[in-house]
């Protein structure tokens, strides 16, 4: 890859991309000790960065290849990126998706004019079917990440970041199959060799981390994470070599760290992103850098509405905004009112309260009360616990 390849890709992509300007984040800056500027690719057409690589790949096909049409396998953002790009270029597109793919994603892909084939229960089944159809029908296969033309398209993000902020010092990028970080890292290093590129993986699907440890591409026994877009058991061969050459560090985050990042992004910026897309935000507190200009790439925003609710609830609990606890009280009139007054006095809000009269406690005539309250955070929770202790009650977190 040469810098000219990335600049040419950017010229071709101008006609189909939406501008995703950097957004300064006071909250993530405060939490990380750096100056954080979010690159919001979740606001891109089709809701993710994938349009870049897909369009660049398909646009570079020969006229003969374009007549044959393209095929891809995907359960998510790649499907929509390929479908959209093919429609814009007047090319037939076939997308093979697992039968378990949510209906909303199937409909979104069809909306862009692609023919959808539902096959198998998991991505690997869909991939094999796509390769069969490629051989049978002569379609051109568009790989989601292990393709040089796809990498060039994804790398245009780096050009935009460094054009808007030439003094950016760190770019933080999600890693699934490795296509996004490979393109960004290669392009960024060609423009600014001293810039630091940090990749982020979910701890339950850390295929790049394991490959770097063993210095070869390996297949994980499983990929278990709520960040489904990066739940990849095996990174690409091409992308592994790019990561070794251009990426400075790879860190991992767990699912609970993702829920916190999701909550902050939604609450403070009014922006919704998918779990894979917020990996860089979840990793910001783990960076060793301080006082640097850091750009986390929020790569996509295609998330199920029910998942949004779950992420918010778990994020509230993780950041001590929701506190579940138990307290034992004597089984006599007026005792319940005493504890509700304690909660009111510290300014917490009762969400749920229930008696458990059948639990054996240390004192025979006591009963357990299970309480869920809404608080302002960790300090507020501690104030609540201290208030109960001052009145002779012991609080047990649940």
Same domain, 35 and 79: no
Bridge-based pairing of strands 395-397 and 322-330 is antiparallel
Q: What is the pTM of this model?
A: 0.87
Please list, in sequence order, all residues whose beta carbon lies within 8 angstroms of the beta carbon of residue 270, skipping any fewer than 6 positions away: none
Higher pLDDT among residues 59 and 104, named by residue = 59
Catalytic residue, candidates 50, 57, 105, 196: 50
pLDDT in tens, 317-356: 888 899 999 998 888 888 889 999 999 999 999 999 987 6
Q: Catalytic: 276?
A: no
Q: Catalytic: 299?
A: yes
Q: Contact at 8 Å (CB) between 42 and 48? A: yes
Whether 56 maps to a domain, the answer reads no
Please list, in sequence order, all residues whose beta carbon lies within 8 angstroms of the beta carbon of residue 241, skipping any fewer than 6 positions away: none
User: Strands, DSSP E only, in the chain?
Assistant: 23-24, 35-40, 70-73, 93-97, 115-118, 140-141, 170-174, 196-202, 249-253, 293-298, 322-330, 349-356, 366-374, 395-397
Residue 359 pLDDT greater than 70, yes or no = no
Residue 357 binned pLDDT confidence (cut-offs 50, 70, 90): low
CATH number of the domain to which 14 belongs:
3.40.50.1100
Same domain, 292 and 324: no
Bridge-based pairing of strands 70-73 and 93-97 is parallel
Whether 283 maps to a domain, the answer reads yes
What pLDDT is stored for residue 360 in this prediction? 55
Domain end marker among 109, 138, 167:
138
Whether 102 maps to a domain, the answer reads yes
CATH number of the domain to which 370 belongs:
3.30.70.260
Same domain, 24 and 86: no
Residue 366 binned pLDDT confidence (cut-offs 50, 70, 90): confident
Whether 200 maps to a domain, the answer reads yes
Catalytic residue, candidates 108, 299, 318, 328: 299
pLDDT in tens, 207-266: 999 999 999 999 999 888 888 888 888 899 999 999 999 999 999 999 999 999 999 999
What pLDDT is stored for residue 171 in this prediction? 98
Structural domain harbouring 337: 320-397
Please tell me the total count of domains within the chain.
3
Same domain, 373 and 352: yes
Mean pLDDT of 376-380: 92
What pLDDT is stored for residue 287 in this prediction? 96
Whether 144 maps to a domain, the answer reads no
């Amino acid at each position: 890859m040469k810098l000219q390849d990335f600049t040419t890709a950017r010229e071709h992509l101008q006609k189909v991309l939406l501008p995703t300007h950097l957004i300064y984040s006071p909250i993530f800056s405060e939490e990380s000790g750096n100056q954080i500027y979010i690159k919001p690719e979740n606001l891109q057409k089709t809701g993710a960065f994938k349009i870049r690589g897909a369009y660049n790949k398909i646009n570079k096909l020969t006229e003969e290849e374009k007549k044959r049409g393209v095929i891809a396998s995907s359960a998510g953002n790649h499907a929509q990126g390929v479908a959209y790009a093919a429609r814009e270029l007047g090319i037939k597109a076939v997308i093979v998706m697992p039968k378990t793919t949510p209906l909303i994603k199937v409909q979104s892909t069809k909306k862009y004019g692609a023919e959808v084939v539902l096959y198998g229960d998991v991505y690997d089944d869909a991939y094999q079917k796509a390769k069969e159809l490629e051989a049978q029908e002569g379609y051109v296969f568009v790989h989601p990440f292990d393709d040089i033309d796809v990498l060039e398209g994804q790398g245009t993000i780096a050009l935009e970041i460094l054009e808007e902020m030439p003094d950016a010092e760190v770019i933080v990028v999600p890693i699934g199959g490795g296509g996004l970080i490979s393109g960004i890292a290669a392009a960024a290093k060609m423009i600014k060799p001293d810039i630091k590129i940090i990749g982020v993986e979910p701890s339950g699907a850390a295929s790049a981390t394991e490959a770097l440890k063993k210095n070869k591409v390996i297949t994980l026994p499983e990929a278990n994470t709520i960040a489904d877009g990066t739940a990849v058991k095996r990174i690409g061969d091409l992308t592994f070599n790019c990561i070794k050459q251009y990426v400075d560090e790879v860190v991992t985050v767990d699912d609970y760290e993702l829920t916190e990042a999701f909550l902050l992004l939604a609450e403070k910026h009014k922006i919704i992103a998918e779990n894979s897309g917020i990996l860089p935000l979840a990793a910001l507190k783990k960076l060793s850098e301080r006082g640097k200009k850091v750009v986390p790439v929020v790569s996509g925003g295609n998330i199920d509405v029910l998942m949004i609710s779950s992420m918010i609830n778990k994020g509230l609990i993780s950041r001590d905004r929701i506190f579940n606890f138990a307290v034992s009280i004597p089984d006599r009139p007026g005792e319940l009112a005493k504890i509700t007054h304690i909660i009111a006095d510290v300014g917490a809000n009762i969400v749920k309260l229930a008696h458990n009269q059948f639990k054996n406690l240390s004192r025979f005539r006591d009963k357990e009360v299970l309480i869920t309250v809404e608080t302002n955070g960790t300090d507020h929770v501690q104030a609540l616990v201290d208030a109960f202790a001052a009145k002779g009650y012991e609080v047990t977190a649940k």
